[in-house]
């Protein structure tokens, strides 16, 4: 008899790279900026594949809830984590907000990989896929805006909100415009589409927008065309995305210091936040965002529990290391512990909360 409990492979790549860095110390000296660049390229491939896989037709069925959970849900989760970190764990408000912004997004690499192993009936699977692609750009934009603000004050938070809004608006516009420009590439080789997505990412970032959001939006807009005009492209993009997942987690694993994780003021807060996120903060945020969405109780539980953390939260932790953020090593360690908890505990038990077939649906002939 097989067990539904399975450890996601991304955790193995992360821990394997961490162990390798301990055995070969030169690997552990990698610069955060270099890791950020490598993971960003990998995320472009992952988000493009995720957007193409969803496509316009599937996305229309969940557009409103994805927008709510991806934007409002990320902000609510950030605020919830910040409140727990400040009131329970005694972090200052600014580092508490940084922690919240880091661990709020779900991760497309982990979510796509885990959901790909299960047949998810109804809209909950598409909703989770859409959310994981949408809230990563939101979380990254929020983190960069908070780091630029540098503190918690009315003026600094106002500047952060303006920068946050600008990145999302430019990213959305860039994705829609980019889809028009990239559409002629849909029937051609998928490598050209990947190259176009990388160019779109870079150009949108130069325009002070979210390149990740632009790539995801363009992937959704182009998905149906790609699948209809060159069906084999989906398999190629899926393979590149899987390779991107390996590269992202391996690169991030090189930045993890086990000595830091062993400190009680790192693993302790990390476990507290991991549990609080899984059983309290995310279910409350998802419940508020999806209150008017037609989902069964089992589907709501599934969406709440399967909001897995992964490469993106760790990348946001790397951003803190790369910038002059006070006590960045400790904050980064806490983020890594939250991710390890999420991937190991939530990721390995997703099958236990998977919704069953809709009893109202007619059986197949």
Tell me the domain boundaries of the chain: 9-13+31-353
Cα separations (Å) of 51 from 104, 168, 212, 219, 233?
A: 20, 17, 11, 4, 13
Q: Terminus-to-terminus CA distance in the chain, angstroms?
A: 30
Which two tokens mark 81? 């984590």
Burial class (CB in 10 A: 0-12, 13-18, 19+), 283: middle
Residues 6 or more apart in contact with residue 102 via CB below 8 angstroms? 139, 143, 313, 316, 317, 320, 331, 335
Distance CA 249, CA 302 (A): 25
Q: What is the pLDDT of residues 304-350, one digit of tens each?
A: 898 888 888 998 998 898 887 888 999 999 999 999 999 888 888 88
Which two tokens mark 34? 């270099």
* H helix count then E strand count, the chain: 17, 0
Confidence (pTM) = 0.85
- Cα atoms found within 13 Å of the Cα of residue 360, Cβ hemisphere only: 2
Phi-psi map region of 109: left, alpha, beta (phi>0 left; psi -120 to 50 alpha): alpha
pLDDT at 1: 41
The CATH code belonging to domain 9-13+31-353 is 1.20.1530.20
Distance CA 178, CA 215 (A): 8
Q: What is the pLDDT of residues 76-91, one digit of tens each?
A: 999 999 999 999 999 9
Question: To the nearest whole number, what is the mean pLDDT of the chain?
Answer: 85
């Amino acid at each position: 008899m097989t067990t539904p409990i399975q450890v996601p492979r991304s955790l193995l790549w992360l821990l394997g790279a961490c162990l390798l860095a301990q055995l070969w110390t030169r690997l552990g000296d990698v610069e955060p900026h270099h890791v950020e660049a490598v993971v960003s390229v990998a995320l472009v491939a992952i988000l493009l594949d995720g957007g193409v896989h969803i496509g316009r037709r599937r996305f229309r069925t969940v557009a409103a809830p994805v927008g709510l959970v991806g934007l409002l849900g990320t902000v609510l989760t950030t605020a919830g984590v910040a409140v727990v970190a400040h009131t329970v764990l005694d972090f200052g408000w600014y580092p508490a907000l940084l922690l919240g912004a880091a661990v709020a997004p779900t991760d497309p690499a982990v979510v796509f990989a885990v959901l790909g192993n299960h047949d998810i009936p109804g809209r909950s699977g598409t909703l989770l896929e859409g959310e994981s692609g949408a809230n990563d750009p939101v979380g990254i934009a929020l983190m960069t805006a908070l780091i630029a603000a540098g503190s918690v004050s009315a003026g600094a938070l106002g500047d952060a909100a303006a920068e946050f809004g600008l990145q999302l608006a430019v990213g959305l516009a860039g994705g829609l415009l980019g889809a028009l420009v990239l559409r002629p590439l849909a029937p051609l080789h998928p490598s050209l589409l990947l190259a176009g997505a990388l160019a779109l990412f870079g150009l949108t970032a130069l325009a002070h927008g979210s390149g990740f959001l632009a790539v995801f939006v363009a992937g959704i807009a182009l998905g149906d065309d790609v699948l209809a005009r060159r069906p084999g492209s989906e398999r190629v993009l899926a393979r590149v995305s899987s390779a991107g997942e390996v590269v992202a987690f391996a690169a991030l694993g090189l930045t993890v210091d086990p000595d830091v994780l062993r400190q009680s003021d790192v693993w302790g807060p990390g476990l507290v936040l991991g549990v609080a996120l899984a059983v309290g903060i995310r279910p409350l945020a998802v419940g508020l965002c999806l209150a008017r969405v037609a989902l069964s109780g089992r589907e709501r539980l599934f969406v709440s529990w399967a909001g897995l953390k992964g490469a993106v939260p760790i990348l946001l932790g790397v951003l803190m290391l790369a910038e002059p953020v006070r006590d960045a090593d400790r904050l980064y360690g806490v983020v890594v512990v939250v991710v390890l908890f999420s991937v190991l505990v939530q990721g390995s038990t997703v099958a236990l909360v998977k919704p069953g077939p809709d009893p109202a649906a007619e059986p197949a002939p």
